[in-house]
């Protein structure tokens, strides 16, 4: 298997987990950290996983606090929240080679196109993380459940590079699917993220609490149907049975604190642009009404202002 150099931008619940999997699979992985930098340099990176714990000792981890000191990468994994996407151009540019694949492990829709335009890239990849993983302390990640990746590419010429990265993840024990279109993949993830991230933050409730109330389950389903209508209007194909499948899987999963709920509880700005504002803009362009999603977004905007003011 071809040996690649990976750069992980954002070593939190997502970047730390998948980066550690690649490290233990034998790949050359370099981690960008911010507030956790000194802790990880001294104590290493700890991942408690239901698949079995796997950590990286302090003397084995390649940890940095600026990308200018990192080696140029074959693959850049971006695992920052989309609220920090205004930093991406400056962070990524020092890492680029002529054929570097940038893979955005983020929520929402529209980021691949924006970054491709900013960096003048021929192609950019996106990844949807079907995982329950939280950062519970500096350099400490708790992987609760799941872990599958769905990958897609923006720019058809990048499919070969994306397939190679998918093979690397599979080699490391990560289940991976490849979608022909990253937009199809993103709409499928939004089908879950729009209702459950937003409702969990507004209600201050985990997934088990939401699923235990028939009224909130009905609301979640109604929002999912709205997202599905917008996806269909843009030409993306979503199997109608996927909504029931997602609801059943959510009911069976361990109680999960969504990323947006954790952001609210910890006083961090929530990810509204790519997950809500962009979706509602696309809906208006397509002439699709999303009254329940719009109402949820308005409540989230109120909460965000309380956090950021």
Task: Give the 3-state secondary structure percentages of the chain, helix then strand then coil, rounded to 5.
Answer: 50, 20, 30
Q: Where are the domains of the chain?
A: 5-180, 184-308
For 293, list phi and psi in degrees, rounded to 5: -65, -40
Domains 5-180 and 184-308 share a fold: no
pLDDT at 1: 62
- Our measurement of the distance from residue 241's CA atom to the centroid of its chain's CA atoms, rounded to an integer in Å, reads 23
pLDDT at 52: 85
Rg over alpha carbons for the chain, rounded to the nearest Å, is 19
User: What is the CATH code for 184-308?
Assistant: 1.10.1040.10
Task: Name beta bridge partners: 102.
Answer: 76
pLDDT at 238: 87
Residues with catalytic annotation?
A: 189
- Whether the full predicted model's pTM is greater than 0.85, yes or no, is yes
CA dist., res. 172 & res. 47, Å (int): 15
pLDDT at 185: 85
User: What is the CATH code for 5-180?
Assistant: 3.40.50.720
What number of H helices and E strands is found in the chain?
12, 9
CA dist., res. 74 & res. 8, Å (int): 11
User: What are 123-140's pLDDT values in tens digits?
Assistant: 999 999 989 898 999 999
pLDDT at 11: 97
Residues of the chain with pLDDT under 70: 1
């Amino acid at each position: 298997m071809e040996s690649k150099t990976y750069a992980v931008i954002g070593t939190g619940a997502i970047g730390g987990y998948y980066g550690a999997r690649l490290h233990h699979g034998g790949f050359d992985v370099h981690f960008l950290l911010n507030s956790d930098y000194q802790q990880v340099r001294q104590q290493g990176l700890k991942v408690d996983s239901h698949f079995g714990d796997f950590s990286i000792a302090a003397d084995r981890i390649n940890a940095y606090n600026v990308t200018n000191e990192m080696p140029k990468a074959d693959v850049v994994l971006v695992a920052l929240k989309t609220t920090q996407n205004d930093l991406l151009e400056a962070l990524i540019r020092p890492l680029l080679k002529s054929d570097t694949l940038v893979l955005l492990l983020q929520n929402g829709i529209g980021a691949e196109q924006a970054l491709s335009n900013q960096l003048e890239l021929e192609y950019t990849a996106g990844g949807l993380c079907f995982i329950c993983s939280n950062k519970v302390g500096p350099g400490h990640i708790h992987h609760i459940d799941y872990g599958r990746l769905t990958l897609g590419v923006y720019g058809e010429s990048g499919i070969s590079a994306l397939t190679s990265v998918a093979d690397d993840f599979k080699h490391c024990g990560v289940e991976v699917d490849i979608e022909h279109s990253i937009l199809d993949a993103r709409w499928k993830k939004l089908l879950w993220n729009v209702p459950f991230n937003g409702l969990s933050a507004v209600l201050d409730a985990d997934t088990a609490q939401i699923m235990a109330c028939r009224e909130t389950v009905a609301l979640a389903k109604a929002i999912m149907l709205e997202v599905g209508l917008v996806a269909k209007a843009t030409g993306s194909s979503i199997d109608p049975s996927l909504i029931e499948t997602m609801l059943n899987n959510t009911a069976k999963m361990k109680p999960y604190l969504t990323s947006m709920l954790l952001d609210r509880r910890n006083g961090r700005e929530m990810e509204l642009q790519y997950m809500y504002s962009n979706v509602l803009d696309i809906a208006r362009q397509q002439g699709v009404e999303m009254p329940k999603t719009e109402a949820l977004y308005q409540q989230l905007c109120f909460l965000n202002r309380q956090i950021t003011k």
